[in-house]
Amino acid sequence: MVHSVELLFDPDTDAAVRRIWDDLSAAGVRSQAANRSPSNRPHVTLTVAEDMADGVDEALRPLLGMLPFDGLIGAPMLFGTRALVLVRLLVPSAHLLDLHREVDRVCRPFVDGAPLPHTAAGQWTPHVTLARRVPPERLPAAVAVPGLGRDLRCRIVGLRHWDGNNRVEYPIT
């Protein structure tokens, strides 16, 4: 499994993304709504590593001063080739990219090796996941969901460390 550091949204943005999850499900696309875990919530992953040492949460606390801030959830995108991941881009602002670089810098001493390459500064695509393992034949139903491509103003208010090994979330407060 993995550890990650993630951005969290305000209640209005969280609810708006969950409505998209529900609309995708209603259209026959297995979305993130199918994951009933209490820790499953709309988020933006900043960094991912195989493991993060104790102390990373405390080290991340000073970055809370960079929150909250407004953003824009933009275009739908696809990752993958056969089993597709449907996401929405979090439009990268200068502030978001600065925060990403700071999270990367702070986390590196707590990571054995390096973060996974797709989350490294300069290689990261900020996004909100809508559905995983989407069969290509379900894409027409997914993109036909009303409002899927409509820009969504958002507010980013929180930071958490997700321990995927133990399936535990640690809010950074």
pLDDT at 106 over 80: yes
Own/partner contacts of 19-24, CB < 8 Å, gap of 24 or more, are: 20/88, 20/130, 20/145, 20/147, 20/148, 21/130, 21/131, 23/145, 23/146, 23/147, 23/148, 24/86, 24/130, 24/131, 24/142, 24/145
Output the domain CATH number for residue 29.
3.90.1140.10
Q: What is the pTM of this model?
A: 0.94
140 occurs within a structural domain? yes
Model confidence pLDDT, tens digit, residues 151-173:
999 999 999 999 988 889 999 99
pLDDT at 114 over 90: no
pLDDT at 62 over 90: yes
* Model confidence band, residue 71 (pLDDT cutoffs 50, 70, 90): very high
Domain of residue 148, residue span: 1-165
173 occurs within a structural domain? no
- Total structural domains within the chain: 1
61 occurs within a structural domain? yes
pLDDT for the residue 1:
63
**Bridge partners for 6 per DSSP:** 45, 160
Model confidence pLDDT, tens digit, residues 29-47:
999 999 988 889 999 999 9
